Amino acid sequence: MHKDMEMQLKGYGLTTAQIFYHLPDHPAILQTYVWQDYDLAPSFPEMHGFLQFWQEKLDGPLHSVRYVHRRLVSATEWRALRGELILH
């Protein structure tokens, strides 16, 4: 099974974050960065891990983060089917 599908069946959904940060050399100017990954709502461990990495390792202090989350497939929507369709 495809890795993305496995994650979705475990409850992960696609999270997109728009990160606003101050430019290191020009702190009055805001820049944006878009981050996207599969994550678990409502705790968002992947996004929080990335933001922690940003604060510890990258220049450019964070200003704010806006995010959206969408569960694409839930376990209740997945079902096994038996059958075959042949198209000529």
Closest of 74, 60, 73, 75 to residue 28, by C-alpha? 60
Stretch 48-56: mean pLDDT: 96
Q: Which burial class, exposed, middle or buried, applies to 15 when counting CB atoms under 10 A from its CB (0-12, 13-18, 19+)?
A: buried
Greater model confidence, 76 or 84? 76
What pTM does this model have? 0.77
Nearest Cα to Cα of residue 33 among 57, 50, 45: 50
Res. 88 pLDDT band, cuts 50 70 90:
very low
* Average pLDDT over every residue of 11-37: 94
* Residue 51 token pair: 């933001």
Determine the pLDDT at residue 25. 95
**Distance in angstroms (rounded) separating the CA atoms of residues 41 and 64:** 19
Helix or strand or coil: residue 79? coil
Residue spans per domain, the chain: 3-73
